[in-house]
């Protein structure tokens, strides 16, 4: 993962991780991908992004989820 694409500052988007030089959050990229948007569609909607930046956001999200944090999931929904 190329961390130079990701930054976090309390003065930008309340400290959420964003693509450096933008106000586009890692969270919003992940939501778009989860909703079925392709990388190409995201790039078309956000011309300042690059494919490397999107891949870095995916990698960052994966790294964050490796932390020892419990995420309760309603079993009735998951079944």
User: What are the pLDDT digits (tens) for 47-60?
Assistant: 999 999 999 999 99
pLDDT range class, residue 76, cuts 50, 70, 90: low
Q: Over the Cα atoms of the chain, what is R_g?
A: 14
User: What are the pLDDT digits (tens) for 4-36?
Assistant: 899 999 999 999 999 999 999 999 999 999 999
CATH number listed for the domain at residues 3-78 = 1.10.10.10
Residue 70 has pLDDT above 90, yes or no: no
Query: pTM for the full model?
Result: 0.83
Segment holding 19, helix H or strand E = strand 18-19
Q: From CA 20, how far away is CA 22, in angstroms rounded?
A: 6
């Amino acid at each position: 993962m190329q961390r130079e694409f990701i930054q976090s500052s309390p003065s930008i988007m309340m400290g959420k991780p964003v693509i450096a030089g933008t106000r586009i959050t890692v969270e919003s990229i992940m939501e778009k991908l989860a909703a079925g948007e392709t990388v190409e569609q995201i790039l078309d909607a956000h011309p300042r992004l690059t494919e490397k930046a999107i891949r870095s956001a995916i990698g960052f999200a994966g790294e964050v989820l490796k932390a020892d944090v419990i995420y309760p999931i309603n079993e009735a929904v998951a079944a």
